[in-house]
A and B are shown apart, each in its own frame.
Chain A
Amino acid sequence: MNLILTNDQTLIDRLSLNDTEAFEELYRHYWKSLYLYCLKKLQSPEDAKIIVRTIFTDIWEKRYSLPVSFCLSRHLYQEVRKKVINCLSQKLSDSTERTYIEKRLITEFSVQSLQAARKPVTNAYTVINKPSELIRQQTGQSGNEHYNTLATIKWMVLSFTDKFSFANLLSYPKN
C-alpha cells in the first residue's frame, strides 16, 4: 500500500493517463466510508460490496471523460446515495426480500428515527458555533485562558474535519 498521501485532484489527473496506482490509492482512500455507509443503510454486506465495486468500476471506465472541475468526494456522495435508493427500491419489488426489509429497515423511516439526522454531528461542532460568552460562562474561564482554549479546540476540530471531509459530506446539512 502506498503511504504517500496525494491530493485527490492529482490522482484524478493521473487516472486519465491510465495510472492504476492512482486509481488504487483513490480506492483505498474511499472504499471503507462507502462500504460502511451502504452496510448501515441496506444491512447487506453483499449489496454494499456490489455498490462499492460498481462506483469504482464506473470511475475507471469514465476516466477519459471526467470533467475538469470533477470533485471526487461530491461524486461519491451523490453516487452512493443514488445507488442505495435504487438497491432498496429493487429489493422492495422482490417479494422474497420484502419481509426482511419490513422487519429491519422500515422502522428507520419513522419520524422518531429520522430525528437523529437533525442533531449536530459532533459535540465539537456545537462548541465552534456557540457564542464565546456562553462558553466562557460554562467553562468558568476568563480572559486569555478562555480564548486560548477556544482557539485550540477550533484548530483541533478544523484539522480533523479537513482530514475527514468525505465523512462530513455524508452527514446531514445543518439548518
Chain B
Amino acid sequence: MKSEILHAKLERYVNGESMPAETRQIQTWLSCTLTDAQLTAEERSLLELEILQEIQAYTAYPLFYPKKEKPWWQKIAALF
C-alpha cells in the first residue's frame, strides 16, 4: 500500500466516512500489540519524570496547588 492511499484511508476514518472494511483494517492495526518495546529501569524512571515535568509545565498545577509539607513524624514513619 502506498502512503497516499493510507493517508486517504486515515482521513476518511478520522472524519467518520470510512468503509466498514477500512475501519476494520485500521482498528485491527491499532489492536495489534504483539511485539512491544521494553524500557530499561533507568530509561523508564527518566522518561516518567520527563513527561511529568512537561505536564506540570503545561498545566502549572504545582504552582496553584503546591504539595503540603509532611510533618516530621510522618517522614520518619515512612522510613520504616
Are both chains from one complex?
yes
Give the interface of A toward B (CB within 8 A).
18-21, 23-24, 27-28, 31-32, 35-37, 39-41, 49, 52-53, 56-57, 60-61, 81, 84-86, 88-89, 92-93, 98, 101-102, 106, 108-110, 113-114, 116-119, 170-173
Q: Check if B3 is an interface residue, CB within 8 A of chain A.
A: yes
* Complex contact B33–A40 (CB within 8 A): yes
Q: Is the CB of A109 within 8 A of B14?
A: no
- A-facing residues in B24-51 (Cβ within 8 Å): 25-26, 28-39, 44, 47-48, 50-51
In the complex, chain B residues whose CB is within 8 Å of the CB of A170: 31, 33
**Are B3 and A98 in contact, with the CB atoms below 8 A?**
yes
In the A-B complex, the 5 residue pairs with the closest CB atoms: A172-B31, A117-B32, A92-B7, A89-B10, A114-B28
**Between-chain CB contacts (< 8 Å), 10 pairs:** A18-B64, A19-B65, A31-B48, A35-B47, A40-B35, A41-B30, A92-B3, A98-B3, A114-B28, A173-B31
Cross-chain contact A172 with B7 (CB below 8 angstroms): no
Which B residue's beta carbon lies closest to that of A19?
B65
Question: B37 touching A28 by the CB < 8 A rule?
Answer: no
User: CB distance B10 to A52 under 8 Å?
Assistant: no
Q: Are A27 and B10 in contact (CB under 8 A)?
A: no
Name the B residues within 8 Å of A119 (CB-CB): 34
Q: Is the CB of A110 within 8 A of B1?
A: yes
